[in-house]
């Protein structure tokens, strides 16, 4: 952070102003999820904080501007340094903090997530990647990262805390409505299968990429809505709906995602979603 500020600002006066501003604009808070597991909520993706006797493991690191406050909030639950960061995927609200954490911790992501970062010219892609699964063993704690298939992107990591029966789903789980990033390998068909794989894990609690902590039922409901919205789009296309009407006609009060504001998540995904479903029909 200091290095960045020194290069970004020419005088100490501006550093002081920028620092105050950074704190004034932010709205982060930390809440306990389980013993030894916390979530940092607010601007950007939800950060998982797994505390061990040998250091801290973070799941995601929000935007670069959030680094100082993440560090401060981690400091309220552990005196030990952040040793590892696992990126759930490449999006800047989840992996943007890599530009700072790359200097003090080992960052790990799925190979495809790293490829997406490199293709998108994102700073500080991880030095370590995995393909099927990997794990960190630190201070007697196991944190496992799985690749369970396509969904939000083609490089989503599902993080599993087996002793706590908890998962961090990244943006495979979303509190309002999901975004299918077709430009980076997203797939609604893959997403349902990936959800089935997540549900095969033994867990009772889930940290979503955005929104409030979920229970297993919420994760099941999320999976079911993905399936339902796919069936609805297929029915509409079969009835002859042109792509230009999909955004309006997909809306139905029984599927909360389709009612999310225009421009948000599901709505943003609609053109690609139409093409994906149309391509599946005989
Ligand atoms: Zn995302």
Question: What CA–CA distance (Å, rounded) separates 251 from 249?
Answer: 5
Ligand 1 center–CA 57 separation, angstroms = 20
Ligand 1 center–CA 117 separation, angstroms = 12
Ligand 1 center–CA 231 separation, angstroms = 24
Q: Are residues 41 and 60 in contact, defined by beta-carbon separation less than 8 angstroms?
A: no
User: Quick one: CA torsion of 233, 237, 241, 243, rounded to 10 degrees?
Assistant: 70
Neighbours of 174 (CB within 10 A): 22
Ligand 1 center–CA 135 separation, angstroms = 22
pTM higher than the cut 0.75: yes
Q: Is 85 exposed, middle or buried (0-12, 13-18, 19+ CB in 10 A)?
A: buried
Q: Is 253 exposed, middle or buried (0-12, 13-18, 19+ CB in 10 A)?
A: exposed
Question: What CA–CA distance (Å, rounded) separates 271 from 243?
Answer: 7
The DSSP secondary-structure symbol of 126 reads: -
Question: What CA–CA distance (Å, rounded) separates 175 from 63?
Answer: 19
Ligand 1 center–CA 150 separation, angstroms = 13
Ligand 1 center–CA 94 separation, angstroms = 7
Ligand 1 center–CA 127 separation, angstroms = 20
Question: What CA–CA distance (Å, rounded) separates 86 from 129?
Answer: 10
Question: Over its length of 282 residues, how does the chain's per-residue pLDDT go in tens digits?
Answer: 333 433 333 333 333 333 444 444 568 999 999 999 999 999 999 999 999 999 999 999 999 999 999 999 999 999 999 999 999 999 999 999 999 999 999 999 999 999 999 999 999 999 999 999 999 999 999 999 999 999 999 999 999 999 999 999 999 999 999 999 999 999 999 999 999 999 999 999 999 999 999 999 999 999 999 999 999 999 999 999 999 999 999 999 999 999 987 656 678 899 999 999 999 999
Ligand 1 center–CA 152 separation, angstroms = 7
Ligand 1 center–CA 28 separation, angstroms = 18
Q: Are residues 61 and 89 in contact, defined by beta-carbon separation less than 8 angstroms?
A: no
Ligand 1 center–CA 34 separation, angstroms = 24
Q: Please give the C-alpha separations between residue 15 and each of 22, 174, 220, in angstroms, as whole numbers.
A: 10, 35, 47
What residues pair up with 135 in beta bridges, in sequence order? 144
Ligand 1 center–CA 31 separation, angstroms = 21
Could you tell me whether strands 82-86 and 55-59 are parallel, antiparallel, or unpaired per DSSP bridges?
A: parallel
Ligand 1 center–CA 109 separation, angstroms = 14
Question: What CA–CA distance (Å, rounded) separates 252 from 245?
Answer: 14
Q: What is the pLDDT of residues 41-70, one digit of tens each?
A: 999 999 999 999 999 999 999 999 999 999
In order, the DSSP letters of 209-237 are EESS-EEHHHHHHHHHHHHHHHHHHHHHH
Ligand 1 center–CA 165 separation, angstroms = 23
Residue with tokens 């530009």: 99
Ligand 1 center–CA 262 separation, angstroms = 18
First to last CA, the chain: 54
Ligand 1 center–CA 187 separation, angstroms = 13
Ligand 1 center–CA 181 separation, angstroms = 8
Question: What CA–CA distance (Å, rounded) separates 86 from 282?
Answer: 40
Question: What CA–CA distance (Å, rounded) separates 162 from 167?
Answer: 8
Identify the CA nearest to 64 among candidates 36, 112, 103.
103
What residues pair up with 207 in beta bridges, in sequence order? 168
User: Which residues make up the environment of ion ligand 1, defined by Cβ < 5 Å?
Assistant: 91, 171
Ligand 1 center–CA 89 separation, angstroms = 7
Ligand 1 center–CA 9 separation, angstroms = 30
Q: In 102-258, which residue ranges form alpha helices assigned H by DSSP?
A: 111-119, 188-199, 216-238, 246-249
């Amino acid at each position: 952070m200091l290095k960045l500020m020194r290069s970004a600002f020419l005088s100490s006066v501006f550093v002081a102003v920028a620092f105050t501003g950074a704190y004034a604009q932010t709205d982060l808070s930390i809440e306990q999820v389980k013993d030894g597991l916390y979530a940092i909520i607010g601007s950007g993706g939800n950060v998982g904080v797994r505390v061990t006797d040998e250091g801290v493991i973070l799941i995601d690191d929000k935007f670069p501007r959030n680094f100082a406050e993440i560090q401060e909030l981690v400091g309220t639950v552990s005196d030990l340094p952040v040793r590892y960061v696992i990126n759930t995927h490449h999006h800047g609200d989840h992996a943007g903090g890599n530009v700072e954490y790359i200097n003090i911790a080992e960052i790990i992501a799925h190979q495809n997530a790293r490829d997406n970062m490199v293709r998108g010219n994102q700073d500080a892609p991880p030095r370590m990647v995995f393909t099927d699964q990997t794990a960190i063993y630190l201070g007697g704690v196991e944190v496992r990262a799985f690749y369970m298939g396509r969904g939000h992107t083609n490089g989503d990591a599902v993080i599993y805390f087996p002793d706590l029966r908890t998962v961090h789903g990244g943006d495979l789980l979303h509190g309002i409505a999901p975004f299918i990033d077709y430009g980076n390998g997203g797939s609604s068909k893959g997403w349902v299968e990936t959800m089935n794989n997540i549900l095969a894990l033994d867990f009772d609690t889930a940290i979503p990429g955005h929104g409030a902590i979920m229970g297993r039922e919420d994760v099941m409901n999320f999976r079911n809505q993905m399936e339902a919205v796919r069936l609805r789009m297929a029915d509409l296309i079969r009835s002859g709906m042109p792509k230009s009407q999909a955004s309006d006609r997909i809306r139905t009060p029984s599927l909360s995602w389709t009612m999310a504001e225009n421009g948000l998540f599901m709505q943003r995904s609609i053109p690609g979603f139409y093409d994906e479903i149309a391509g599946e029909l005989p």
